[in-house]
Homo-oligomer: A and B are copies of this chain.
Amino acid sequence: MIEEKIIEILKSKSGYVSGEEISDHLRLSRQALWKHIQELRDSGYDIVAVPHLGYQLVQLPDRLFPQEIGSGLETKFIGKKIHYQEKVSSTMDLALNLGLQGASEGTVIVTESQSKGRGRLGRNWISPKYKGIYFSVILRPKISPLQASLLTILCAVGLCEAIKENAQIEPQIKWPNDLLINQKKIAGILTELNAEMDEVRFVNIGIGLNVNTEKKALISSATSLKEELGKEVNRVELLKAILRRIETNYLLFRENRRKEIIEKWREYNTTLGKRVKILVRNQHLEGQAVDIDLDGALLVRKDSGVVQKISSGDIILCR
């Protein structure tokens, strides 16, 4: 807490701040202040100390610290509580425990690296340290489990909007949960439910986004923003934009303005109009992806002319 306050003071001034001023303000001894400055430096804050002038914050660390994400976030509830751990098995494991313990809606779990990052159906999500944005958010919508697919859809839209706004590049959405740039995967979304048949208790949305990941750490079907843009992206600012955009779209969902979400989704999608092959629990299906419905399900017109509703599955885009 004191370290957060020191950072606040340093951020509020453009030049040097005297140690005396900080010490007086926070009622610290000069020695205690020095110890906190050292700890901040160890966390990655670049703080210069000059005798007789004081301290200056030269550079923020490339870390997804809660105080950095929370600073100027201006959301209503998403990210009001942020749990940060440098390394976790999966943010979804923590989110499940927190959800069961009654964590409030909008609680975010963020990490710098995951040893067992999860994709859909138990697949792996490679999560190299300090390179990506790996987080989960706990939502508590008053919906039946049958309506939860649209949460994946609205998070995909929020992610696209944030990336477009923040990194000036436009991803495409491959139904149901992948974001692509130049046909390569840049992000994935995992949606997990804890529910009665009548009502969801909570939904955890897990997002893995390759931000500054180097090519050598990526599989051939994946890419990162850095690879596509040729430069690094500030992860803190991007995550803040993502949380804001997810909240905006989630509020549309809560206000039952689902059509607006679907309309935005259509703009980013790369699935509709294409011929697709779909694998759903050992069943194969082929046809034209014609639309998604208000529940977020994909409508596929088979060669027989029959339109089938697909709520989840792996799809291959044929052209």
Q: Give chain A's interface residues, CB within 8 Å of chain B.
A: 96, 100, 120-121, 142-146, 148-149, 152, 176-177, 190-199, 281, 311-313
Query: Nearest B residue to A192 by beta-carbon distance?
Result: B196
Copies of this chain held together in the complex? 2
- Kindly list chain B residues whose C-beta atoms are within 8 Å of the C-beta of A197: 148-149, 152, 176-177, 191, 193, 311-312
- In the assembled complex, the Cα of A133 lies from the Cα of B114 at a distance in Å of 44
A144 with B311: CB separation less than 8 A: yes
Contacts A146-B146, A193-B193 known; A120 to B311 CB distance under 8 Å?
A: no
Instruction: Given A193-B195, A195-B193, A311-B197, answer yes or no on A281-B149 (Cβ-Cβ < 8 Å).
Output: no
Chain B proximity of A248: nearest CB distance (Å) = 22
Rounded to whole Å, the gap between the CB of A89 and the closest CB of chain B is 14
Residues of B within 8 A of A198 (CB): 120-121, 312-313
Chain B residues whose CB sits within 8 angstroms of the CB of A144 once the complex forms: 281, 311-312
Contact of A120 among B96, B194, B196 (CB under 8 A): B196
List the B residue with the shortest CB-CB distance to A92.
B196
Q: Measured between C-beta atoms, what is the minimum distance from A28 to chain B in Å?
A: 45
**Complex Cα–Cα for A132 and B263 (A):** 52
Residue on B nearest A201 in the bound complex, by CB: B192
Q: Are B146 and A145 in contact, with the CB atoms below 8 A?
A: yes
For the complex, what is the distance from the CA of A149 to the CA of B312, rounded to whole Å?
Answer: 17
Using CB atoms, name the residue of chain B closest to A121: B198
Which residue, A100, A144, A149, has most C-beta atoms of chain B within 10 A? A144
Chain B residues lying within 8 Å of A196, measured Cβ to Cβ, are 120-121, 190-193
**Cα(A195)–Cα(B199), bound, Å:** 13
A199 cross-chain contacts in B, Cβ below 8 A: 121, 281, 312
| A193 vs B144: C-alpha distance when bound (angstroms) | 11
Whether the pair A194, B191 counts as a contact (CB closer than 8 A) is no
Q: Within the assembled complex, what's the spacing in Å between the Cα atoms of A199 and B193?
A: 10
Instruction: List, in ascending order, chain B residues with CB within 8 A of A313's CB.
Output: 198
Chain B min CB distance to A86 (Å): 25
- Closest-by-CB residue of B relative to A312 is B198
Chain B residue with Cβ nearest A100:
B96
> Bound state CA distance, A194 and B194, in angstroms?
5
CA separation between A248 and B277, bound complex, in Å? 35
Most B CB contacts (10 A, CB to CB) among A146, A148, A193 go to A146
Q: Which residue of B lies closest to A96 (CB)?
A: B100
Tell whether, in the assembled complex, residue B191 and residue A192 are in contact, meaning their CB atoms are under 8 Å apart. Answer: no
Whole-angstrom distance between the alpha carbons of A176 and B198 in the complex?
10
**B281 near A193 (CB under 8 angstroms)?**
no
B281 with A142: CB separation less than 8 A:
yes
